[in-house]
Amino acid sequence: MGDYIFSLTASLIVGIAVARYLGPEMYGIIAFATAVYAVAIIIAALGIDDIIMKDMMQFAEKQGGIQGSALFIKFAAAFIVYVIIFIYCIMNYSGDKLYSVLIISAAVLFQPLSVFSCIFLINAQAKYTSIARMVSYTLSSLLKIILIIIKAPVTYFAFAVFIDYAVLYLTVILMYKYKNYTVSGWHIDISYIKYILKSAVPLFTAVLFYTFYQKITVIIISSMYSDYASGIYSAALRLAEIWYLVPAVLMTAFFPAVVKAKQISEEEYMKRIKALFYVTSIPFILMACFTALLSPFIIKILYGEKYIQSSIVLALIIWSVPFISFYIISSKCFILENKVKHLLLRSILSFILIIVLNYILGSLYYLKGFSASLLISSFISFFLIDLCFKDTRKLFFIKLESIFFPFIYILNLLKKDKNNP
């Protein structure tokens, strides 16, 4: 958890410094290229990491075939994805935008090395991947600071982002060698490749559409309007996205306890789920209130006058954080309860809604429209939809109760006082 806090803090502080230095237009180019990479890396990952970790623990005697097969198909996917990006960019972009996208997206070729980090995770040695993450963030942050000092052009910052991702995976390899692990015995098993690709389809599709949902707006704004508009939107989005880590960390930390509660009884399980929703929704709603009210001040202090248009974007999209938090927590519940279809449905629905709303509201209201699209799509896809299905309706009322919990608590206290004068 410490490495996540460190990397989050470093990336936020340095990211703000980079945005101030580059200005909205050049920062928009970096944001666009990073969004393309985020989609590319999800496709290259194929959604198989959790499956191969589970299989390596269950079938230790087959680890060589599992690891070798996973590495092979990931490299194949990463290569194909990068070739497609390369051809598309050569045909459609030029100058700084072309070079930035090609440089940052090239980091996708290192993603297959995540197979090595799976070894550490199944052997309860996650500290080594944490060290790798801290090393990569430290080096890339120092490099970005140096680039600001020497007043480097935007493509140099694209290279710094590439270094960040590349160093992460290369450091994992060094840790792998340090622990005297070996690749001898790794081999390609065609039957396992067929099995894993089939098994990964539902989760891969859900994660892919959710990633599209998160990143597609930046790409659409850049295409419909300009890199300047993309930079203005991305600066505000950056401040909202930092809060997504809170429910993710909570679920990582408490998921074993949730699983154990599920094994004990349904009542105990629901208590744990309710607690997670309460712990996240109330602080997030309060945070959204203050952020929306103070957004002009926050943007001016952090980014400067050049980004003042980001304040209205921040004031709107910050309200999507509680609903995205609901999705992050609910997704683990759906996996635990074998309801992956609900997870898939929400991811696809959110993607379709944000595409349609972006083109309708974005064309009518510019950045306000894009911001409203994110809020409306998250409200419908991650909250309201639970009311439409019998087996998720209970979850809807838990979420609703978590939103109004302070008011319900106060009303209960008043009732007690009334009954006991």
- pLDDT tens profile 70-118: 888 888 989 999 999 999 999 989 899 999 999 999 999 988 888 877 7
Tokens 């206290």 belong to 413
Conformational region of residue 254, where left means phi above 0, alpha means psi within -120 to 50, and beta covers everything else? alpha
138 class by beta-carbon count within 10 Å (0-12 exposed, 13-18 middle, 19+ buried): middle
What's the confidence (pLDDT) of residue 4?
A: 61
At residue 212, the pLDDT reads 82
Report pTM. Answer: 0.84
Q: With beta carbons less than 8 A apart as the criterion, state whether 314 and 295 touch.
A: yes
Give the DSSP per-residue string, 294-354.
Answer: HHHHHHHHHT-GGGTTHHHHHHHHGGGHHHHHHHHHHHHHHHHTT-HHHHHHHHHHHHHHH
pLDDT at 336 over 90: no
Decide if 361 contacts 220 (C-beta within 8 A). no
pLDDT band for position 33 (50/70/90)? very high
Q: Is the pLDDT of residue 284 over 70?
A: yes
Is a pLDDT exceeding 60 seen at residue 57? yes
pLDDT at 410: 53
- pLDDT, tens digit (0-9, with 9 covering 90-100), for 241-271: 888 777 777 776 676 677 777 778 878 888 8
Query: What count of other Cβ atoms lies within 10 Å of the Cβ of residue 301?
Result: 10
The pLDDT assigned to 229 comes to: 93
pLDDT over 80 (residue 7): no
Please report, for the chain, the start and end positions of each structural domain, with discontinuous segments joined by +: 1-188, 200-421
Closest CA to 276 of 398, 391, 412: 398
pLDDT at 124: 63
**310 compared with 10, residue with greater pLDDT:** 310
CB atoms within 10 A of CB 360: 12
Please, which contacts does 72-76 make with residues 24 or more away whose CB atoms are closer than 8 Å?
72/188, 72/193, 73/46, 73/48, 73/193, 73/196, 73/197, 74/44, 74/45, 74/46, 74/48, 74/111, 74/112, 74/114, 74/115, 75/112
DSSP string, 170-193: HHHHHHHHHTT---TT----HHHH
Residue 361: pLDDT band (50, 70, 90) is very high
Q: What is the pLDDT of residue 148?
A: 94
- Asked whether the beta carbons of 44 and 111 are under 8 A apart, the reply is yes
Provide the pLDDT confidence category of residue 286 given band limits of 50, 70 and 90: confident
CA distance 164 to 137: 6
Q: Which residue has the higher pLDDT, 11 or 239?
A: 239
Question: Is 139 within 8 Å of 11 (Cβ atoms)?
Answer: no
* Residue 84: C-alpha distances to residues 48, 212, 333 (Å): 21, 17, 35
Q: What is the mean pLDDT of residues 335-342?
A: 78
> Which of 9-18, 156-165, 390-399 is most confident?
156-165
Give the pLDDT confidence of 127-159 residue by residue, as tens digits: 777 777 788 888 888 999 999 999 999 999 999
Say whether 22 sits in a helix, a strand or coil. helix
**Model pLDDT for residues 382-421, shown as the tens digit of each residue:** 888 988 888 888 888 888 888 876 556 555 545 555 555 5
> Coil, strand or helix: which one is 159?
helix
